[in-house]
C-alpha cells in the first residue's frame, strides 16, 4: 500500500494526550520555532517520536497548544481567556514564539498579571540604613503617632518607609487607588455653622479652632495623620 503525496505531507502531533494533525508546510510558516524543527530530516531522532503511531509527543498543556498550532495556520496569535498569563507565557517560551506576536485583542488579558506585579513592586523600596533615633519622635502628640510606625526597640521599620509613598498618594492623588477615592470622599472637615467666625488659620494636629470650640467637635484625626506624613 502506497501513501499519496498529501499523506506524506501530513504530520501528527500528540500534545498532552490530544492528537493534532496538520501539514508540514503549515509548520514551516514560522521558521526557527520548535514546531518548524519537526519538518527537518533529523526530527525523528531529536524529538519523542513513536514509529508505530507515527506521531510526535509533547508533554505540554493541551488546551494552549490548540492556540499555538492555530497561529501557524492563520498567522494570528490569540490567547485563551481561561488560562492565566504566566502559564501561556511559559508555553510561548517553550514553543519558541515571541510574546509580542499576541494580537491586540488579547494583549490586555495576557499582560494583566505582569501589570499587577509591576504595580505591587512600585510600592516596595529598598530597605534604608538604620538611622539614629530622632529625639523629636519620643514625645508629644506627633511622637505618639509616629511611634505607631516604629519597632518595639525604637528603630524605624522598613514598613513605614515602604508605606509612606502610598500614604502620600492616598491623600494627594484621589485617583491613585480605590482606597484613595474612598478617603477623598470621607476626609472632609466639619461644616461651620452660619455666622461663625472663620478662625481656621491655626488648624492643625493637637489644636482646636474657634469653630470646633463652638461645635464641640474634636479635631479631625486624618489631619493629624497628614501632619505626620
Domain boundaries, the chain: 5-121, 135-228
Q: How far apart are CA 134 and CA 121, in angstroms?
A: 29
CA distances for 194 relative to 66, 81, 137, 201, 214, angstroms: 71, 58, 39, 18, 12
**What is residue 214's predicted lDDT score, i.e. its pLDDT?**
54
Q: How far apart are CA 136 and CA 143, in angstroms?
A: 7
The domain made up of 5-121 is a member of CATH 3.30.710.10: yes
Dmax (CA) for the chain in angstroms is 106
**What is residue 153's predicted lDDT score, i.e. its pLDDT?**
52
**Tens-binned pLDDT, residue by residue, of the chain (229 aa):** 445 556 579 999 999 999 999 999 999 999 999 999 999 999 999 999 999 999 999 999 999 999 999 999 999 999 998 888 889 999 999 999 999 999 999 988 888 877 777 777 766 555 555 545 455 444 554 555 455 545 555 555 555 566 666 666 666 666 556 555 665 555 554 555 555 555 444 444 445 455 455 555 555 555 454 444 5
Cβ atoms of 87 and 64 closer than 8 Å: yes
CA distances for 166 relative to 80, 184, 224, angstroms: 34, 14, 17
Q: What is the pTM of this model?
A: 0.51
**What is residue 117's predicted lDDT score, i.e. its pLDDT?**
73
Q: What is the pLDDT of residues 42-87, one digit of tens each?
A: 999 999 999 999 999 999 999 999 999 999 999 999 999 888 888 9
CA atoms within 13 A on the CB side of 198: 0
Amino acid at each position: 500500500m502506497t501513501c499519496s503525496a498529501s499523506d506524506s505531507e501530513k504530520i501528527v502531533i500528540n500534545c498532552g494526550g490530544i492528537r493534532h494533525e496538520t501539514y508540514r508546510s503549515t509548520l514551516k510558516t514560522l521558521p526557527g520555532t520548535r514546531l518548524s524543527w519537526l519538518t527537518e530530516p533529523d526530527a525523528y531522532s531529536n524529538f519523542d517520536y513513536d514509529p508505530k503511531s507515527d506521531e510526535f509527543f509533547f508533554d505540554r498543556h493541551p488546551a494552549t497548544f490548540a492556540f499555538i498550532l492555530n497561529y501557524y495556520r492563520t498567522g494570528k496569535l490569540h490567547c485563551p481567556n481561561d488560562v492565566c498569563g504566566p502559564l501561556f507565557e511559559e508555553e510561548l517560551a517553550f514553543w519558541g514564539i515571541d510574546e509580542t506576536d499576541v494580537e491586540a485583542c488579547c494583549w490586555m488579558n495576557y499582560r494583566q498579571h505582569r501589570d499587577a506585579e509591576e504595580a505591587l513592586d512600585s510600592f516596595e523600596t529598598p530597605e534604608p540604613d538604620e538611622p539614629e533615633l530622632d529625639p523629636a519622635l519620643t514625645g508629644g502628640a506627633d511622637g505618639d503617632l509616629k511611634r505607631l510606625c516604629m519597632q518595639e526597640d525604637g528603630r524605624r521599620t522598613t514598613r513605614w518607609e515602604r508605606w509612606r509613598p502610598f500614604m502620600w498618594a492616598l491623600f494627594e492623588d484621589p485617583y491613585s487607588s480605590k482606597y484613595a477615592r474612598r478617603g477623598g470622599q470621607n476626609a472632609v472637615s466639619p461644616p461651620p455653622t452660619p455666622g461663625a467666625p472663620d478662625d481656621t488659620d491655626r488648624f492643625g494636629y493637637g489644636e482646636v479652632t474657634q469653630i470646633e470650640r463652638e461645635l464641640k467637635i474634636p479635631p479631625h484625626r486624618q489631619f493629624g495623620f497628614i501632619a505626620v506624613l
